[in-house]
Amino acid sequence: MSDAATGKAPLLSVQNLSVNYGAIKALKRANLDVFNGEIVAVIGANGAGKTTLMNAIVGDVPRAEGIILLEGARLPAKSYQVVAAGVSISPEGRKVFAPLTVHENLEMGAFPIKDRNEVKKLREKIYNLFPRLRERMTQYAGTLSGGEQQMLAIGRALMARPRVLLLDEPSLGLAPIIISEIFKELTKINSELGMTMLIVEQNARKALQLSHRAYVLQTGEITMSGNSKELLRNPEIEAAYLGGKKKK
Rounded to a whole number of angstroms, the minimum distance from the CB of residue 63 to Mg ion is 17
Which of Mg ion, ligand ATP, none does 46 bind, CB closer than 5 to 8 A by kind?
Answer: ligand ATP
The residues binding Mg ion (CB under 5 A) are 50-51, 92
- Residue 52's binding partner among Mg ion, ligand ATP, none (Cβ under 5 to 8 angstroms by kind) is ligand ATP
Nearest distance in Å: CB 92, Mg ion: 5
Q: Which does 77 bind (CB under 5 to 8 A by kind): Mg ion, ligand ATP, none?
A: none
Compute CA distances 1 → 4, 176, 210, 213, whole Å: 9, 29, 15, 12
Strand order in the sheet with 39-43: 87-90, 164-168, 196-201, 39-43, 213-218, 221-227
In the bound complex, what is the minimum distance in angstroms from residue 57's beta carbon to ligand ATP? Answer: 12
Rounded Cα distance between 17 and 149, Å, is 30
Report the residue number, 50 or 136, with the smaller CB distance to ligand ATP.
50
Angle between helices 146-158 and 176-193 (to 10 degrees): 20
Q: Check if the beta carbon of residue 162 is closer than 8 Å to that of residue 87.
A: yes
Which of Mg ion, ligand ATP, none does residue 21 bind (CB under 5 to 8 Å by kind)?
ligand ATP
CB 128 → ligand ATP: shortest distance, Å?
31
Nearer to ligand ATP, 110 or 231 (CB): 231
